[in-house]
Amino acid sequence: CGLPVLATRVPAMAANRPVMRPAADVPVSGRVTGADGNGLPGVTVLVRGTSIGTSTAPDGSFSLTAPEGSTLVFSFVGFGTQTAVVASGTPVSVTLREDAKQLTEVVVVGYGTQDRGSVSSAISSVSGRDIATQPVADPTQALQGRAAGVTVTQNSGAPGGAGGTQVRVRGITSAGNNSPLYVVDGFPLPSSDAGGNSVENQLNAINPNDIETIDVLKDASATAIYGLRAANGVVIITTKRGKAGTSSITLDGYRGIQQVWRKLDLLNAEQYAVINNESILAQGSSPVQEKLRDPKSLGAGTDWQKAVFRPTAVIQSYNLSAAGGSEKARYAVSGGYFQQDGTLNGSNFERFTLRANGDIQLSKRVKIGNSLSVTHLSDRQLNTGNDEFGVLNNVLQAPPVLPVYRPDGTWYEAVKADNYVEPNPVLQSLIANTKFNRNRVLSTVFAEVEPLKYLRFRTNVGVDLIFDNGSGFTPSLGPNSPRNGPGTASAYAFSNYNPGYLIENTLTYDRLFAEKHQVTVLLGQSAQEFNFNSVSANRVGYLSNDLQQLNNGPQTNQTNSGTSSQTRLASYFGRVNYDFAGKYIFSATVRYDGSSAFATGYKFGFFPGASVGWRLSEEEFIKNISVISNLKLRAGYGRVGNPLNAGQFAYLATINTGITYPFGPGNVATGTQTINSGAAPTRAQNTQLRWEDNVQSNLGVDVGLFGNRIEATVDVYNRRSPNLINNVPAYLVTGTYEAVPTNSLVSYNRGIDVSLSTRNLVGGDRGLTWTTSAVFSAYKNRIEDLGTGGTAFNGATNRSGTAIVRYDKGQAFGAFYGYVAEGLFQTPEDVKNHATQTVNADPGKSTGPGDIRFKDLNGDGKITDADRTFIGNPNPDFTYGLNNTLSWHGLDLNVFVQGSQGNDVYNLNRVYTEGGLYSNGNSSTRVLGRWTGPGTSTDVPRAIAGDPNQNLRVSSYFLEDGSYLRLKTLTLGYNLPKSLTQRVAAQSLRVYVTGQNLVTLTKYTGFDPELGGRGIDFGVYPQSRVYLAGVNIGF
Amino acid sequence: LGLLTTTGCGEKFLEEAPRDQLTTQNFYRNETDAILATNAVYSQLSRKGQYNYSLWGIGDIMSDNSNTGGGGGGDGAEEIQLDQFNIPSSNPMTSALWAGCYVGIGTANLVIQKVPGITNMSPAIRTRCVGEAQFLRAKYYFDLVRCFGDVPLLTAPPASPADAAIPRTPAAKVYEQIISDLTAASGSLLGSYSGSDLGRATKWAAMGLLAKVQLTLGNKAEAARLAQLIIATGPHSLWANYGDNFKLENENGKESLFEVQFVYDPSQSYDFNHLGFAGNEFFAPRGQGLAPQGGYGFNIPEPNFVDGYEAGDRRQAVTIFKPGDPYPAGSTYPSQPAKLDGSPNGYNVRKWLVPKTVTNVWDSPLNFPVLRLSEIYLIAAEGLGATTDGFKYLNVVRRRAFGEDMLSTSPQPHDLNSSNTGDFSAAVLRERRYELAFEDDRWFDLKRTGKLLTNAHLISKGIKPFNVVLPIPQSERDANPNLTQNDGY
């Protein structure tokens, strides 16, 4: 326990012994199999007392040259070690047996590692193998459905994961940012940008192929070692390192195509004209548009989805990596290229990665090493979802009666006569020449010294340099363009430089006393600094489209800005692990963490955590029960923090320089006077503002049955947040009027994580093998108290600024708030007998039959703001993942299913897909079932221009069940027989085909039920369905 | 490996200051900062919590001078609540007054605390800034104490919101602070300004306000002393015509001791917190096209008020529209009709009407008087009582109203004297009603003279004894449990 990654990943070594006599080297070969008779690949084979060694091929075979009579040591993680004596000409056949006691899966716990068996807190691990099998740019996307308690949502299907991946460890505990802390090779990444906004797409700078494991620390007893930043869980990413005595070169590549998995059924030109005419006539004033008079003559019109979605967008990835080394020096290097076109025209992503990790044993007591990752990525992203003016929303709105191009081949842009003003979405997706580049260097260097036996000092220094730059030019389309006429051409450029630095020192004492008392003590110190610098500029009114640089634009219409900020963290931490005879486990952690973001006297916090474990399976009374191979009870408790919602310097009162007042003589003709600036703070300072705390308790059980053929882990947890930040309305006697961020909100979040893995069939070498793993996660959260002076507050709003989300006592985080829709009015009497919804004498401008009936909750006879209530909850009842792997002869089949159940989605996108009932935009075919007279429809309102009843207001009408089940990936692979691979000088060669998002079962009617942003569909960039073929070659 | 020590001192390592934003920690460092901070104190005057909204609701509509008007139905609900003495603790007009005054006081407290410590500035400007802040702090506290009675008294910026959550301070203590501030300001402020500083508070403004405060407290002799001092030694004089006070070309004119600076705001916005006066739009006859949005017809003069004008009082035509009054250029209608929506008798306030050409949506540039010399005359008169000098000061104001020679030593036709005036106090109060009509003063006058509960008109509107003070905003009481509510609310 407590050993650093590098030390434990090295196969067990026997003590150096002097070789008694020189012996002749002889060739020796053989095969290593598991208990099931299958060949075991990757088993380390070492000649005892030397660094001579190799590892087994995929079929378990090996060959090397060793001194006759020497001993070969066969070791493999999770298996008992075996030895064999080298005898010339005799093939060695070894069977390694898994041993629960020896099941030394290593878990990264922060500033060290532990054997899985001695872990008493809640940690989920996902191996690099599972990550690399998924065609994703952002490795965190591969956690989806594979780690219990970790809810992963892709914010959008934009290429390169650029839309961000929302990772939530054990639900939501804050109204603000709930992102976990990411630690890559010991370097904690910045969790937010300069503005305090969460950065959810930074992991796409890491090549998924380079990852050895991702360990997710979930409960506070595990995360407390990261203190201040650990409340939302810690995701530790460890990259691949070389192993002594092995050497491998692998080439991985895949190439495929992507399509949107779902398009919406939109109206064709004829249907559009019918609806549009009907809605205008219903209003009773405007005449029907001339060109829509004869709908039948219009035919199908433009299919805007077809025009903007690529039928086959390319995705491809190639990686070449080499790893190996000796006891003295080990290396892992790789180079990767990933490229992905978006399914939307004009969006693309490209990434180059280089990695070089090394370890050098300088002497028996001194070791040095490094991790270096260099990434260049560049992309062109479209303004898509979550924006009123996004391409996707315009695809849905654009009338099919408008063409993409004019007859002369130039872009068609809507003119006044079209009664439509939004941009042509195809043009919108392609017009601007934009580019974003990110270069990121993440590097750590460490040195480890063992000054005394059992004592290890380690110093780790790291940098994370992020260089972003981007530019764009939007040309003018000439004098006839209604939207992009002369003078509109514009250019922008920006550059960000965000360097971060880390230095940490740890001292580890690790010793087994009296063969039963394993004690590990860790003491450490860490200091980290994040810097954010940005400059940006733009110019408008370019006379020509030829020269697109800033300098070529007019200086009379330019703006620029620049910002700079810095945050620092200073931390001290310690951990004690005690393990008695492998039965009783105790771990205690404390971190004293300080951040520069807070006021003097409020910078530091104390974050303790502790856990205990009892391995019942080591007790005599259980040992006799042969069915039970592993049984462990765990309990943990701790307190951790989340600084993301406090913001930097939010405790200070910012001076508002925009307060104005006129002085001086007035100008009678114009009514003007000199307007003077004034300055004062408009928000009270709250020097006591601190991070949000999270107090967590965890109970868990690990079970292994039938020699661990069935393994299960169940954890239940309770997370209480006693001082979440709420913007408390200003107390005006302070002299300020802006709400003050205050630690006042109280909430809880409780839930259960279950993971189960079974080896259902354990065939022989070429027999059928079938393994299953499943994860299940469920949580519930509630706001318990708003705190003194705290009032309910609004979250996300629709486009007109009306709240969709409201945070209130007794409600779940992100609960939807609005009117309750109760079907449609069928007759004028219905309208009359119901509470007044709109007041207007003109029937074309007030509520009528066919409009939505909203519930009069307070019974005052009027439908007002007071009739809004909580109408839905975006938090799922549970999420799950199910992974099945079958192999038979050289074939392997992997089926991965993942889903979410019981979450509501507010489908705001229906403002567009049903907007055609009320305006001149297009709609989905759902509106064909609209109300046209009593009894014609009970769910789709009438068509009436102007929407006098405000059917589009925030109401339960737009609420949908967001549950889905998705066949996330399906992979069929084939390992070529050795006879064939040797022809290309390869040790192994596997070919495979993969399909991603092949099947999605959902009742949800929008593009995709997988939505970031707390379950509000603003028009999300849909996920792709991917078909690809790939190859892995090992040399 | 010795790096342990370099990062060992945590607190020091974490000393960080914002680099790209101004905060209370890196502001207040030079003369520019001091002036900016002082300007901010003025800004509340022209906003919602003072002359742009709250004060005409409280001073005019809640008095016997006028009623709500407007479009009927739910239009002007907050004015109606005041008008009919059915005032919830959430009333927007009373809440806005609380907010505006305390925000003004907060900015004033910062100036008074920070500016004296700025060494890098002209001593004269330093003194001026502090004096201006003291004057304005007194002005805001004066409105608070008159409206709400006991109110929390803060004379320094609180360190945190909790530090401001203090109980209500007795009104007498608040008045002590007001008097102290005004006394200091009338000693330190300049007598006049020119150029780009025109409109800042003068020593005369401070002295005049102090006179009004003393009158409110019943210290008649002191009020009279101050008012006479201003009349005798100040630079001010009365316009020959009453109406000249309310013209764009006479802003910050000779009769003005202090006025709110309003300006045409080019941003078309429906907001009481812009730099222009919304009253132009709100008071203009409803839908008659005299204001940019046609006029909303609020603040309708009561028949009792209109009927009270003496024949020949020239102030009437300046102050109100009556049926048949011709409209100024710009309207599509020739004259005031006999009846309008919200104004059954065809009356409207005219005083603040500005031609449509120089005004904007809700943003008229006409300044609004806080203290005019004619009021100082009336304060002097009231302070002196039914004495020769008392009548003299009162009659100066009356003579102008009737177009008579203000300075004549011989009696004039409309002069009041001990033989034709039985109740001198009532005469002064009546004169104030017409001289200062729709200058947001009437409710305060009725209150300080103890006439709120005996006024027949207000009784008919349903005034209750506890309405002599207004409700403390509920939202404030939610934040500060120490804040008690006035009885009855």
Mode of pairing for the β-strands spanning B66-69 and A816-818: unpaired
> Which A residues, 448 through 487, put their C-beta within 8 Å of a C-beta on chain B?
449, 457, 459, 461
Residue from B31, B41, B47, B107 to probe the interface with A (highest A Cβ count within 10 Å): B107
A989 or A43: whose pLDDT is higher?
Answer: A989
Task: Using the predicted structure, report yes or no on whether residue B202 has a pLDDT greater than 90.
Answer: yes
Query: What is the spatial distance between Cα B164 and Cα A172, in angstroms, rounded to a whole number?
Result: 34
Contact B10 A572 (CB under 8 A): yes
Q: How confident is the model at residue A684 (pLDDT cuts 50, 70, 90)?
A: confident
Ranges A830-844, A886-900, B8-22, B386-400: which has the least confidence: B8-22
Start-to-end CA distance of chain B, whole Å, equals: 70
* Contact in structure between B229 and B282 (CB atoms under 8 Å): no
Q: What is the pLDDT of residues A400-443, one digit of tens each?
A: 999 999 999 999 999 888 888 889 999 999 999 999 999 999 99
Residues of chain B positioned with their CB less than 8 A from the CB of A733? 102, 152, 154, 164-166, 476, 480
Provide the pLDDT for residue A77: 65
Q: What is the pLDDT of residues A988-1006, one digit of tens each?
A: 899 999 999 999 999 999 9
Provide the pLDDT for residue A444: 96
Q: What is the pLDDT of residues B227-253, one digit of tens each?
A: 999 999 999 999 999 999 999 999 999
Task: Using the predicted structure, report yes or no on whether residue A883 has a pLDDT greater than 90.
Answer: yes
Report the amino acid identity of residue A632.
K
Could you tell me if residue A11 is inside a domain?
A: yes
Q: Which residues pair with B321 in a beta bridge?
A: B348
Q: What percent of chain B has pLDDT over 90?
A: 82
Q: What is the pLDDT of residues A312-339, one digit of tens each?
A: 999 999 999 999 888 789 999 999 999 9
CA A539 to each of CA A86, A381, A436, A546, B34: distance values in angstroms, whole numbers, following the listed order: 77, 21, 18, 15, 35
Q: Which of A1032, A1025, A1029, A1033 is nearest to A997 (CA)?
A: A1025
Task: Using the predicted structure, report yes or no on whether residue A92 has a pLDDT greater than 90.
Answer: no
Please count the helices (runs of H) and the strands (runs of E) in chain B: 19, 6
Q: How confident is the model at residue B161 (pLDDT cuts 50, 70, 90)?
A: confident
Could you tell me if residue A473 is inside a domain?
A: no
User: Among all residues of chain B, which has the CA nearest to that of A567?
Assistant: B16
Could you tell me if residue A57 is inside a domain?
A: yes
Q: What is the pLDDT of residues A587-639, one digit of tens each?
A: 999 999 999 999 988 999 999 999 999 999 999 888 888 899 999 999 999 99
Task: Return the sign of the alpha-carbon dihedral for residues A304, A306, A308, A309.
Answer: positive
Provide the pLDDT for residue A194: 63
Could you tell me if residue A85 is inside a domain?
A: yes
Which residues are CB-neighbours of A508 under 8 A, at least 6 positions away? Answer: A2, A4, A112, A455, A456, A457, A458, A520, A521, A522
Could you tell me if residue A711 is inside a domain?
A: no
Q: Is B172 exposed, middle or buried (0-12, 13-18, 19+ CB in 10 A)?
A: exposed
Could you tell me if residue A1006 is inside a domain?
A: no
Q: Residue range A76-104: average pLDDT?
A: 73
User: Among all residues of chain A, which has the CA nearest to that of B44?
Assistant: A661
Task: Using the predicted structure, report yes or no on whether residue A344 has a pLDDT greater than 60.
Answer: yes
User: Among all residues of chain A, which has the CA nearest to that of B248?
Assistant: A668
B367 or A1014: whose pLDDT is higher?
Answer: B367
Provide the pLDDT for residue A286: 66
Query: What is the spatial distance between Cα A911 and Cα A917, in angstroms, rounded to a whole number?
Result: 10
Helix (H, G, I), strand (E, B) or coil at A81: coil
User: Among all residues of chain B, which has the CA nearest to that of A571?
Assistant: B10
Could you tell me if residue A631 is inside a domain?
A: no
Provide the pLDDT for residue A4: 33
Q: For A22-105, list the strands marked E by DSSP.
A: 25-33, 44-47, 53-55, 61-67, 71-75, 82-85, 92-95
A738 or B104: whose pLDDT is higher?
Answer: B104
Provide the pLDDT for residue B171: 97
Provide the pLDDT for residue B9: 52
CA B87 to each of CA B51, B63, B453, B470: distance values in angstroms, whole numbers, following the listed order: 20, 14, 16, 8
Q: How confident is the model at residue A195 (pLDDT cuts 50, 70, 90)?
A: low
Contact A742 B23 (CB under 8 A): no
Q: What percent of chain A has pLDDT over 70?
A: 94
> Which A residues, 582 through 601, put their C-beta within 8 Å of a C-beta on chain B?
594-597, 600
Provide the pLDDT for residue A357: 97
Residue from A458, A533, A732, A744 to probe the interface with B (highest B Cβ count within 10 Å): A732
Ranges A387-396, A526-535, A652-661, B120-129: which has the least confidence: A387-396
Contact B3 A735 (CB under 8 A): no
Contact B20 A564 (CB under 8 A): yes
Contact B22 A678 (CB under 8 A): no
Provide the pLDDT for residue A130: 84
Put simply, whether A561 touches B (Cβ < 8 Å) is no
Q: Is A99 exposed, middle or buried (0-12, 13-18, 19+ CB in 10 A)?
A: middle
Provide the pLDDT for residue A796: 86
Residues of chain B positioned with their CB less than 8 A from the CB of A786? none
Q: Residue range A483-498: average pLDDT?
A: 92
Averaged pLDDT score across all residues of chain A: 89
Closest Cβ opposite residue B476 in set A671, A728, A731: A731
Q: How confident is the model at residue A78 (pLDDT cuts 50, 70, 90)?
A: low
Task: Using the predicted structure, report yes or no on whether residue B207 has a pLDDT greater than 90.
Answer: yes
Put simply, whether A736 touches B (Cβ < 8 Å) is yes
Number of domains in chain A: 1
Provide the pLDDT for residue B485: 96
The interface predicted TM-score of the complex, written ipTM, equals 0.94
Could you list the residue range(s) of the whole structural domain that residue A61 is in? 5-95
Angle at B182 between CA B179 and CA B184, to 5 degrees: 105
Report the amino acid identity of residue A943.
A
Residues of chain A positioned with their CB less than 8 A from the CB of B48? none
Q: For A904-961, list the strands marked E by DSSP.
A: 904-906, 959-961
Averaged pLDDT score across all residues of chain B: 93
User: Distance (Å) from the C-alpha of residue B38 to the closest C-alpha of chain A?
Assistant: 7
Q: What is the pLDDT of residues B39-53, one digit of tens each?
A: 999 999 999 999 999
Residues of chain B positioned with their CB less than 8 A from the CB of A658? none
Provide the pLDDT for residue A864: 86
Could you tell me if residue A37 is inside a domain?
A: yes
Start-to-end CA distance of chain A, whole Å, equals: 34
Q: Residue range A106-112: average pLDDT?
A: 89
Q: Is B195 exposed, middle or buried (0-12, 13-18, 19+ CB in 10 A)?
A: exposed
CATH number, domain of A72, equals 2.60.40.10
Q: What is the four-CA torsion angle of A263, A268, A272, A274, rounded to 10 degrees?
A: -130
Mode of pairing for the β-strands spanning B348-349 and B320-321: antiparallel
Provide the pLDDT for residue B10: 63
Q: Kindly state the tokens that stand for A130.
A: 């599972």
